Amino acid sequence: MADSVVSVAGLRVRHGGREVLRGIDCEIARGSVTGLLGPSGCGKTTLLRAIVGVQMLTTGTVTVLGEPAGSRELRGRIGYATQNPAEYPDLTVAEALRYFAAVLRAPKSDVDRVVAEVALGDHADALIGTLSGGERSRANLAVALLGAPELLVLDEPTVGLDPLLRDELWTLFGRLAARGTTLLVSSHVLDEASRCERLLLMREGALLAHDEPDELLRRTGTPDLEQAFLFLVRQGASR
């Protein structure tokens, strides 16, 4: 794929004798919103960890922005929001963001910008320990947005959010991509797949599809993406 931000080739990862990723090959295009979808436990988080360079690989290669994943040169060029962020319950949202902005050497003005982007303006002075689960998820996303990351890797960022906030975040993802940021967003909610330009569908550590949503529907002859996923699962089981 021309102008790829992420290139994964022959990636295998084993945990305790179990193969968690089984020969993953994929590429992520610059300025796109790519959805990584599949049921819980299928290996999505392991793949994301490999891309940001914090996962030991068994075999294969992961190249990000032209560098091996985890390279020092990539610091500050990737924003990563995990499912289970480090908690600082005694800091306010603004204090925590100022701390991370200093660590990342991001402009101080970024704190106000990211607070507004994730709609936490009313909670900027609230202690993180008092936030709801959805509010903490948005605070975690705000950290990933600090600076000017070329690649945003987001592990289930909409978990625990109500439908309105989920819609607002996906709108934000689209705006970021339009500005040239590349986003890789994992989810186990298939109805979010239609918000993505390309999809990576996973099951049991393997990649079932890497395609545009409309092309996936055409290829599988199914009316929606959930049915397309089930078609691919059954097709794989019959081989």
CATH for 208: 3.40.50.300
Asked whether residue 162 is assigned to any structural domain, the reply reads no
Asked whether residue 129 is assigned to any structural domain, the reply reads no
Residues of the chain falling short of pLDDT 50: none
Model confidence, pTM: 0.90
Domain count of the chain? 1
Per the structure, the complete domain to which residue 215 belongs is given by 1-72+186-239
Per-residue model confidence (pLDDT) at position 185: 96
Per-residue model confidence (pLDDT) at position 54: 94
| Closest to 152 measured CA to CA, from 140, 164, 165, 134 | 140
Asked whether residue 135 is assigned to any structural domain, the reply reads no
Per-residue model confidence (pLDDT) at position 158: 86
Asked whether residue 2 is assigned to any structural domain, the reply reads yes
Identify whether the C-beta of residue 200 lies closer than 8 Å to the C-beta of residue 34.
yes
Identify whether the C-beta of residue 6 lies closer than 8 Å to the C-beta of residue 64.
yes
Alpha-carbon span 51 to 113, nearest angstrom: 26
Per-residue model confidence (pLDDT) at position 2: 56
Per-residue model confidence (pLDDT) at position 212: 93
Asked whether residue 221 is assigned to any structural domain, the reply reads yes
Q: Within a 10 A sphere around the Cβ of 175, how many other Cβ atoms?
A: 10
Chain mean pLDDT for the chain: 90
Per-residue model confidence (pLDDT) at position 42: 92
